A and B are shown apart, each in its own frame.
Chain A
Amino acid sequence: MRDAKMLKLTFCSMCIVINILGGMIANTVRIPLLFLDTVGTILSAALLGPFYGMATGGLSSILKALVMNPKGMPFALVNIAIGLTVGIMAKKFGFNIKTAIISGILLAIICPLIGTPIAVFLSGGFVGDPLDIVVAWMAKSGESIFVSAFVPRVFANLIDKTMSGILVVALIKYIPSKILKPLKV
């Protein structure tokens, strides 16, 4: 293959599809606090860098909203931030199990930082899952609604993003060298 750019484009497109399928797989396996809807974003950012990661993340949210459920559209910014963070991490330190866990921890803070103001604006910080009890309990104990909605999200994201990162490290090992080489890992 001469033109690696073409492969990068098609690979990113498949990563967008993997994001949507990840959400469906999470619905099937039903593990608490595991959403798997950013696996494709992490994968493309880890292999191709921040730009492709950001594009994959943003387009996944738009596509998912247009095809499945529109309620996630305002959170496209969160997905873009995931692509940017993992992309920078992978470019500087490479992407292995160690960086996957570190970027998981970083994302656990960055994602709620962007997602919480949107959630507070749209639904007062409540999303209709069991974590709402923690949000209400913290708000009742005198914390601001932003802090109350932020802290439970950090824990939820910590599990999801770290697991997704580890999953991506495992998936990269299965990529054949004819595809991996042009992608220049």
Chain B
Amino acid sequence: MLNKLYSEKESIVHKIDVKTKIIYTFIYILSLGLINNLVTLFISCISLIFILIVSKINLKKISIFIKSILPALISIAIMYKFVLNKDNFEILRTTSVLIFSTVSISCFVMTTKVTEMAKAIETMIPFKTIIPAYEISLMFTISLRFLPIFIKEYQRVKKAKICRGIYIEEMKLKERIKNIMGYFLPVFMLSLERAYNLAIAMETKGYRKKNRKLKWNLKRLDYLTFYMFAGYLILIIGGR
């Protein structure tokens, strides 16, 4: 259930280190701010298409995310054209930035296992003597473990409400506000119980903080992709 977005494929992008992918995605999104003419727009578009082809991910899945930003895209187009009277390039640029950033984050999500993310978070957190990186990573892992259980539990609560004849969609606004607690409380109480039991179980089993030193351990592929990415940045800065 949790790996619903992840697509299992044998590709170069899947093999790239998660930490490197996070940095690339972040810098790529920032680089979209450099787009100021058709050349830079074309370079960004081509490099994203190249990554999508190399990553071998299902384009149908990507289209789901693009559908989720469709209202924003339509809004940008209408407001920019008819209300703010911006030129066509400005509309193209703004919509492209939104599409490219969404697709690049989707590409990262679809090529990264959620379980790999916890270790990457722990490694990437700086100043480990001040910030308890291990605890943060543990929190992420625990929430990952319990999320499907609570989603199921919430769906059960929803069905139970319907069985009792409570149709929230048909209620007036005031009644809906009153009913929020009815949805929150069962799931909240269950989460408290789980948190308490888990803490006791971990304490009983002598669970302690591991003093491990995590290194970046970058592979040859990561360095190779770094040169390619640097090439992209040079091209986009040169194209301005």
A residues near B (Cβ < 8 Å) are 1-3, 6-7, 9-14, 16-18, 20-22, 24-25, 28-31, 36, 39, 55-56, 59, 62-63, 65-71, 73-74, 121-124, 126-129, 132, 135-137, 139-140, 167, 170-171, 174-176, 178-179
Contacts and interface: CB of A to CB of B under 8 A. Distances in A.
A74 B71 contact: no
B89 to A, nearest CB: 13
B68 A69 contact: yes
A169 to B, nearest CB: 12
Contact of B109 (A16, A31, A65, A124): A65
Interface of B: 2, 4-5, 29, 33, 65, 68-76, 79-80, 83-84, 94, 97-98, 101-102, 105-106, 108-109, 112, 114, 117, 121, 135-136, 138-140, 142-144, 146-147, 150-151, 154, 158, 168-169, 173, 176-177, 179-181, 183-185, 187-189, 191-192, 194-196, 198-200, 202-203, 207
B67 to A, nearest CB: 11
Contacts of A67: 2, 4-5, 114, 147
A123 B203 contact: no
Given A9-B135, A17-B147, A126-B75, 19 more contacts: A7-B195, A10-B142, A10-B202, A18-B191, A24-B151, A29-B180, A30-B169, A30-B176, A55-B136, A59-B140, A70-B106, A122-B98, A123-B72, A123-B97, A124-B80, A132-B75, A167-B180, A170-B181, A171-B184
A13 B149 CA distance: 13
Contacts of B176: 29-31
Nearest to A43: B188
- List the 3 shortest-distance A-B pairs measured between CB atoms, nearest first: A128-B71, A128-B72, A13-B142
Contacts, number: 192
B202 to A, nearest CB: 5
Among A22, A71, A171, the one with the most B-chain Cβ atoms within 10 Å of its Cβ is: A71
Contacts of B198: 10
A6 B75 contact: no
B147 A65 contact: no
A128 B75 contact: yes
B92 to A, nearest CB: 12
Contact of A13 (B143, B184, B207): B143
A18 B186 CA distance: 11
5 contacts: A12-B139, A18-B191, A59-B140, A71-B65, A124-B98
Contacts of A36: 180
A179 B76 CA distance: 48
Contacts of A30: 168-169, 176
